[in-house]
Amino acid sequence: MLRATVDWAASLFEAAGTAAMTIGALVALALTFRERGSRSFFKSFRHRLGRAIILGLEFLVAADILRTISTQPTLTDVAVLGGVVLIRTFLSFSLEIEIEGVPPWRRALVSGGRYLSEAVSRAGNATDRAARK
């Protein structure tokens, strides 16, 4: 009973992963065609498509993990799962770098100033509103 339930849940995660990538690709295409006059036409499509693929990969990794733990895994099963998870994690990581243009550990160094200036601006605006009351 439990094994069938876990297997059913894994199938749902696989379907969700496939749907996330398919729907994400279609939405990315539709939104990109709406913006076809902009300069960043191709870049915005790649960004949206990459996000959809990353989301789909996360669902597929969860499905693989569920399928492996639903049975009595052998060492070979665990090794195969580890390989699949490693490959999908590497793909997600590579896509993240491709989309953002910077590795996650450098993101704060590259964009930290922008976030800091936005926070200071918001704090200044809140102070101005409080002073007017």
Q: Which residue has the tokens 């997600």?
A: 92
DSSP letter at 2 equals: H
From CA 72, how far away is CA 85, in angstroms rounded? Answer: 19
Tell me the C-alpha to C-alpha distance, in Å, between residue 60 and each of 18, 48, 54, 98, 104.
8, 19, 10, 21, 22
Hey, is 1 helix, strand or coil? coil
Of 34, 61, 46, nearest to 97 (Cα)? Answer: 46
Which tens digit of pLDDT belongs to each residue from 73-130? 888 888 988 898 889 888 888 888 887 777 777 766 666 666 666 667 777 666 666 6
Q: Which residue has the tokens 């770098």?
A: 97
Which tens digit of pLDDT belongs to each residue from 11-44? 999 999 999 999 999 999 998 888 777 777 788 8
Q: Which residue has the tokens 């693929």?
A: 53
Is the C-alpha dihedral spanning 5, 9, 10, 12 positive or negative? Answer: positive
Of 110, 95, 101, nearest to 40 (Cα)? Answer: 101
Averaged over 57-68, what is the pLDDT?
A: 89
Domain boundaries, the chain: 2-101
